[in-house]
Amino acid sequence: MSTLKRSLGTCYYPEHWPREIWEDDAARMVAAGLTWVRIGEFAWSRLEPRAGDYQFEWLDDAIAVLGNAGLKVVLGTPTATPPRWVLDKHPDMLAVDAQGNQRGFGSRRHYCFSHSGFRDEAAQIVGKLAKRYGNNPHVAAWQTDNEYSCHDTTLSYSDASREAFQGWLRARYPGQGNNGDIDALNTAWGNVFWAMDYDDFGQIGLPNLTVTEPNPAHALAFRQFSSDQVVAFNRMQVDIIRDHSDMPITHNYMGRTTDFDHFAVGADLDFASWDSYPLGFLEDRVGASPEQQKKYARQGDPDFQAFHHDLYRAVGHGRWWVIEQQPGPVNWAPYNPAPLPGMVRLWTWEAFAHGAEAVCYFRWRQAPFAQEQLHAGLLRPDSADAPALAEARQVADEIADAPDVAPGQAPVALIFDYRADFAWTVQPHGEGLSYFGLTFDFYRALRSLGLSVDILPAETTDFSGYKLVLAPGLMEMSSGLKNALAASDAACVLGPRSGARGPDMLIPVPLPPAISGLDVTVSFVESLRPDSPISLQNGGNFIGYREHIEGNAEVIEQDENGAPALMREGNLHYLAGWPDHAAARRIFGALCTQAGLKIHDLPSGVRCRDTGSERFWFNYDTTSHKIGGVTLPPISVLRETL
Ligand code: GAL
């Protein structure tokens, strides 16, 4: 694989600023060492202030100013912010929440993916933009919409959504003509239970406002449908852009958004990008302990950014950016502290160490008006430098001198599957249990051992080169994946909940995990109170979730009662519970050592990541650390040639 260049950029809103300062802004961006400028993604009301009244001259001008200064433009489609007239024209285009309340105008993302009138308006404006700028020499990439799913906007319980869901179900359970086979659906979902049988697809509602929980098969189908609606909306935009432009297309994903399948969206795009707000995410997305949150309040969680870097590298087929990087305090988290000096530089280098092609800071200048008044930029509202500008400039100087990145395969792989997250969300079986939480715990354990990790989709068929593959929590597991894991040379760890459900949320028989070559059967499962973990004889605990397993595979670990906790046959292992950090480190560490991998015992703030040619060390702590022969000063980045 060829090497990668690294570059920096920023997010800019020319429509927020007087025309007189655009040239100066552009010149200052270039002087700061920035290459990219992303614009346009919320500008619909200025591009089409009234239906059909297109006003592109200002955008022509802005692109020319930025491009002539030497910047490359990423042009966003403005569909995340339909102007008021679009809503007046289509009053029922708003999404409806699970309580049945229609969401309102006055912020953003106020649309339902299933509303065909809105979809047509979106297609129209995207088409106009693509046609006008498809061959513009300064437009070097496109972004579709903005942060699908942000503000809880994937699932909509609207009439449009219900009708589209019924159509989706007809296609999923096909019958004569276009009618679908309602008996097939009743059987697949087990609707005989509680007399939930339907006579017709038109009777099927959305799984909200039921007296007690809806049928999990119904709830899962609705999540899969809602994800497909996001994929279809994005694909519509991509197809339109590709008719007019050869430039690469991306979408900016968020941290810990799991309610649509990013791999499916990513399949239509040229590269992935994501919006990294390490301090914004810390309080309510990471799931870390209060002590950890306090310790890293000004640094961000040391594993959360890296997890998403690795995830989105996979979603982008190896190509990905951080298209929005937090540069200072944000406005939207429960608490909004400023980063410690040096953190903006550290976050940027960490993205590059994980293979990012570009890191763009959000935003160029802090806006003195509207919702994000308290959100820092690279410039203050009075245009003076904000603290992050100097750090961005420092990174720009450093990357100019640094060698290009040589991508390399990590020794360890972790499989991540959004459909598994849907199934866990529908049926967590215990309070606070989530698929994201489980996989992130596994990831954190691997990182604390000093390992670089590749995150892979569940469709992966070739695991060559990996020494250890972790496939936790994949509620539905294809036979293709089971076979690929069994055939690989890597030590593979499945469980808990691997292969626990079929496509319609039914418990399969033979009972899970049902893998030939691994004589293990999960006989029953239980979830655990937070204050009642089950200890393992060799150290650490099962927390939250545990399974009772039987079979002829070798018992490697037992719990406090002597029941099997980890069983093995050949290269396949089954882990019968959710291990705490100590147990996960011990079990994965032993497997790595057996596989000949060198492991470390890293403090919580120290992490490393290998590219094909370099090792990067990151110290998120305010104290220095010595690891082997390496001394890491507080808040630091260190590069070693491998
Ligand atoms: C992102 C979003 C941006 C901006 C930013 C503020 O989620 O894409 O438009 O709102 O957050 O931190």
Say if residue 315 is exposed, middle or buried (CB neighbours under 10 Å; 0-12, 13-18, 19+): buried
Give yes or no for residue 277 CB within 6 A of ligand 1: yes
Residue pLDDT, tens place only, 20-44: 999 999 999 999 999 999 999 999 9
Give yes or no for residue 443 CB within 6 A of ligand 1: no
State both tokens at 64. Answer: 């020319």
Give yes or no for residue 621 CB within 6 A of ligand 1: no
* Minimum CA distance residue for ligand 1 atom 12: 330
Residue 223 lies in a domain: no
Give the count of domains, the chain: 3
Residue pLDDT, tens place only, 550-563: 999 999 999 999 99
How far away, in angstroms, is 276 Cα from ligand 1 center? Answer: 9
Q: What are phi and psi of 518, to 5 degrees?
A: -140, 100
Domain boundary among 341, 371, 401: 401
Residues 6 or more apart from 106 whose CB is under 8 A from it?
Answer: none
| Residues 393 and 418 reside in one and the same domain | no
Residue 248 lies in a domain: yes
Domain boundary among 373, 401, 429: 401
Residue 171 lies in a domain: no
Count of CB atoms within 10 A of residue 18's CB? 7
pLDDT of residue 165: 98
Q: Tell me whether residue 324 is one of the annotated catalytic residues.
A: yes
| Residues 345 and 427 reside in one and the same domain | no
How far away, in angstroms, is 377 Cα from ligand 1 center? Answer: 12
Residue 508 lies in a domain: yes
| Residues 436 and 457 reside in one and the same domain | yes
Atom of ligand 1 nearest to the CA of 150: 7
pLDDT of residue 2: 65
| Residues 284 and 322 reside in one and the same domain | yes
State both tokens at 300. Answer: 């961000």
pLDDT of residue 25: 98
If the chain, 642 residues long, is cut into consecutive pieces of 10 residues, what is the mean pLDDT of each piece? 84 98 98 98 98 98 98 98 98 98 97 98 98 98 98 98 98 89 98 98 98 98 98 98 98 98 98 98 92 97 98 98 98 97 98 97 98 98 98 97 89 98 98 97 98 98 98 97 97 98 96 96 98 98 98 98 98 98 98 97 97 96 94 97 90
What CATH number corresponds to the domain at position 248? 3.20.20.80
Q: Which of 41, 48, 121, 147 is flagged as catalytic?
A: 147
| Residues 308 and 283 reside in one and the same domain | yes
User: 619 lies in which domain range?
Assistant: 609-641
Atom of ligand 1 nearest to the CA of 330: 12
Q: Tell me whether residue 557 is one of the annotated catalytic residues.
A: no
Atom of ligand 1 nearest to the CA of 42: 9
How far away, in angstroms, is 72 Cα from ligand 1 center? Answer: 21
How far away, in angstroms, is 331 Cα from ligand 1 center? Answer: 10
Rounded Cα–Cα distance for residues 366 and 368 (Å): 6
Q: What is the pTM of this model?
A: 0.98
What CATH number corresponds to the domain at position 425? 3.40.50.880
Torsion of CA 210, 213, 215, 218, to 10 degrees: 60
| Residues 424 and 519 reside in one and the same domain | yes
| Residues 320 and 382 reside in one and the same domain | yes
Give yes or no for residue 41 CB within 6 A of ligand 1: no
Residue 170 lies in a domain: no
Q: What are phi and psi of 440, to 5 degrees?
A: -65, -40
How far away, in angstroms, is 297 Cα from ligand 1 center? Answer: 19
Count of CB atoms within 10 A of residue 518's CB? 24
| Residues 128 and 269 reside in one and the same domain | yes
| Residues 555 and 625 reside in one and the same domain | no
| Residues 36 and 140 reside in one and the same domain | yes
pLDDT of residue 550: 98
By percentage, how much of the chain surpasses pLDDT 90? 96
| Residues 300 and 359 reside in one and the same domain | yes
How far away, in angstroms, is 631 Cα from ligand 1 center? Answer: 36
Exposure string of 280-307, with b = 16+ CB inside 10 Å and e = fewer, is bbbeebbbbeeebbebbbbbbbbbbbbb
Place of tokens 């110290």: 619
Residue 177 lies in a domain: no
Residue 190 lies in a domain: no
Q: Which of 41, 324, 350, 547 is flagged as catalytic?
A: 324
Domain boundary among 401, 425, 457: 401
Residue 216 lies in a domain: no
Give yes or no for residue 150 CB within 6 A of ligand 1: yes
| Residues 376 and 481 reside in one and the same domain | no
* Minimum CA distance residue for ligand 1 atom 11: 275
